[in-house]
Structure 1
Amino acid sequence: MEHSLVLDMGSYTTKAGYSNGKKPEHLIPSLVGNIRSKFVDKFSKDTYVGQEALETIEYLSLRKVIDHGYIHNFDDYELLLQNVFSKFGLESLNDTCILFSEPILSPSNTRHKIIEIAFETFDANTLNISPATLLAIYGIGEITGTVIEIGDGITQCVPVIEGYVEKQSVRRNDFGGAEISRYLQKLLALAGFQFSTRKESTFVYDIKEKLCFCSLNPSKDEVRTDLKAEYVLPDGYTLADDIDTVFIETERFYAPEVIFNPVIMDTECPNIVSIVWDSIQACPVHQRMALTSKIILSGGSTKFENFPQRLQVELKNVAPQGARDIVKVNAIEEREFLPWMGGAYFASETMRQANINAWITSEEWAESGITIIQKFAQI
């Protein structure tokens, strides 16, 4: 068991790889679907998982295995795990240490079930479950800072002090990239481009990732004449009315603007600046300077162009006059992988041995069963 297997399972993708890698080896859509009844005669099997599910999406009754951080169907979860393990040629985990990330404030019964599945179904040798935000701070080699993670389904703000989560200051909202994509889809529809099918929704995600950006000055960008961009639908695909090219202008920054002004899409979610500032202010006074000076971005939905700069400006605007120069937002290039990278560090042989009490062995599971969950109580 020289290297551990690290899984960062998100609402959009599951990132998987061994702990000796610099990046996850596999990015697997967190999807499961069954062939719809009118198409059953065209397919050799009923259930499709991961990348296969994405490739046959228009024929499926599709389900997200993880929806806004929650697992509602553990049969689907097992299918996704089987798909992941097959990528590594693993039929059993009896010789494998495995680390799972999880969203902060996850239900305890979800953690119980994950542990049970790992040991009972997949015969895991050794296991750890850690908050994705805590792993993210490990991923940049730090132990103190404020982690902001915006994924496809969740926004999390988690202050970490000397390697421990400041629990009473944690803030979480079930809002993320999926909501931004839906808003972009609505804006495109108003512009005359109807994305109606499951497959067409995947194009909206692609448009968002390739063409959208955060505005540093929305009122100025509103009147710019150089924003027009085009997106050619892949593989000769056409929308209704034989449209094969989508033109997008102010929508490019309107969609990500909901992170800072969620009211424009009629949601009561607080904006990201309020979330972060409220979280830091809930921490002990003597820790706030350190937490304000090291704000760490994580997750794919923080990767919009200009997002780090916009967030830093907005946070400085709400900070007291004397504290504005302290505000510092840190954003590494591959921050969508940050929890996985931190997991790889924490699951390395050296760190595993140094933190042996953070891991559950199959022997402990056999002896204590689910009561062993108390071992994670300090996280």
Structure 2
Amino acid sequence: MEVIEGSDALLTEILVRLPLRDVITFKRVSKRWLSLISEPYFSRRRATVQGTRFSGLIVDPDAVNPQHRELTFFYFNKKIRRPCRRRRIFCPKVPDDCSSMLQSCNGLMLLRGFGDTFIYNPTTGDKKRLLSPFPLFDKSPSSEYSLAFDPLRFLGYKLICIFRGKSSKEDGYQTMIYSSESGAWKQCGSSFSAPLDMDLAHGVYFKDSVFYWIGNKSKTTLRFDLKTECVKDDMPPLPPAPQDLNIDGSSYLDDLKRPLKLAYNGYGYILAPACGYMNLVGADFDFGMRVFRLKEDDYSSSRSWVLMHSFDLRRTTLKRVLNTDPAGNYSILHLIKDGEDDDEMALFVQIETKVIALRLKDHTRYDVFDFDLKIQKNPRLYYSSTGVMGWYRAFEYVESLACL
């Protein structure tokens, strides 16, 4: 079908409202259609019309079984049991087994393999190797990367590199930023200090074009402001841990968890954007959970963590499921919006081979996904690390046609 000159705007408005599978199929209609759908404007317009709501999770194959990569993706929709086996349902392309997943951000993923860093689009399968921010003849310092991609707020994607400079003090860090629009790195801001326990390897992007890093022991949080291109320490301190923590433990099972407990002073926190807010999930590596929300004063720069939910997993509808595992192993995978109101959230919990959603408002539950036991002789290979550490083994999936 031919498209007359000047009708691209109308065609775009039609195509951005179609299901993803249809749009990808229409790329084959003609070179003109392929060019139109591949334009950055098309991706941004589609995100504006359809939103960037997370529709599924990609679980790190190392946390499941690298021999069965088809098990590493599932949709949030509880009615879809086997999405990849239904032709009418689009299934994203899981990265190859040569790459480790570092981060996902609004449809793009940050990968690392054989010493190189890549940007990957699981919707299209496109992969791009990023240039190193350091000269080839220079010995690259130890560095951590974080990805920022938000088609509703800025064009292209950005990458933040945090590293220790040669001339910096012992606790000094420096930052560089990469923009896909310019295709180049540049140094930004002055050096900054951070506690030794600051987790710079797991940045979290939020709607204010800011990265967040967290220090569990020091109870601190830092953010990188993409507008001013500098690190700021204007976040409130993390809430104190409950006073009744048993860090040392005494039983055999407690001994297995003791290294994690000691590493986090018995309590770990994870930053989790959901429902249009920055949320904070705290866990005691046993069964106690708390969910906080970052509240900001519209008339000042004041911020505070407000407790939204506090519960023990053993006293919810997950009690019976948890009792089936004598070791009490579980992993918190993610926090999502689960209703019309901003307060309606669900926590994804992986117990043995099941992923279960626990609604925080009333503690009701529903099954989200069940890994296929028939092809796995050892179910324990499905476990992620006990407690909140399992969070980093699950990555949000958002449909995106963004070009790299």
- TM-score normalized with structure 1 length: 0.28
The structure richer in helix per residue is 1
Which one has more relative contact order, counting CA pairs under 8 Å at least 6 apart? Answer: 1
TM-score by length of 2: 0.26
Structure showing the higher strand proportion among its residues: 2
